[in-house]
Amino acid sequence: MSSTTIPSTSVDARLDVPQGICVLTHSKLNTEEIIDSVKDDGAGAIATFIGTTRNSFKGKVVTRLEYQAYSKLAIKTMASIVERVSQSILRSEHTPEVLRTDRSSLLRCSLYHRLGIVPVGEASIVIAVSSPHRKEAFVACEQILEEVKQKLQVWKREFYEGEDESTAEWKENR
């Protein structure tokens, strides 16, 4: 399969869940719009993670990455991750005792993953999380990232300078 051939299962997808938005897209990720999507007047913090294509790996010069997904399943996995993490982050010690509940401390989450070709310097994943307090936002952002790396049905290929493109291998996105 050439790098320009998109399998019929690797398509753009979006799923809105009560906790936020999950998106798989071939379009360049607009980090400002993604951050804006989690804004809330009750948020004292918005934590973000932006994963970008770096220019080297194990001493080789990377020219680009290519991502493919089984989108129908991957978008559901993304939503499940956002829902699970949202439910696991409870109100912090900063919340007065009278207001503490077993409700999530997160307000909104957005999880976007790029598909197709991602040049060096461009974002391949953006996670944004809003919460009343910074600690919960940071923890949730990291938990979402770690679960994505473990569970999401996305594969990548790294292309290296000076190497025949036909030798680029698909790898799990770990």
Q: Does the model's pTM come out above 0.85?
A: yes
* DSSP three-state, residue 82: helix
CB distance 72 to 13 below 8 Å: yes
- The yes-or-no verdict on residue 123 having pLDDT over 60 is yes
12's tokens: 């753009």
Average pLDDT of the residues in 82-94: 79
For range 16-39, the mean pLDDT: 97
Which pLDDT score, from 0 to 100, does residue 98 have?
47
Q: Which residues contact 20 (CB under 8 A, 6 or more apart)?
A: 37, 38, 82, 86, 108, 109, 110, 111
Which runs of E-coded beta strand occur in 3-151?
13-17, 20-25, 45-52, 56-57, 60-69, 108-114, 116-119, 123-131
Q: What is the pLDDT of residues 141-151, one digit of tens each?
A: 999 999 999 99
pLDDT of residue 2 exceeding 60, the answer is no
From 13-22, 35-44, 56-65, 90-99, the region with the lowest mean pLDDT: 90-99
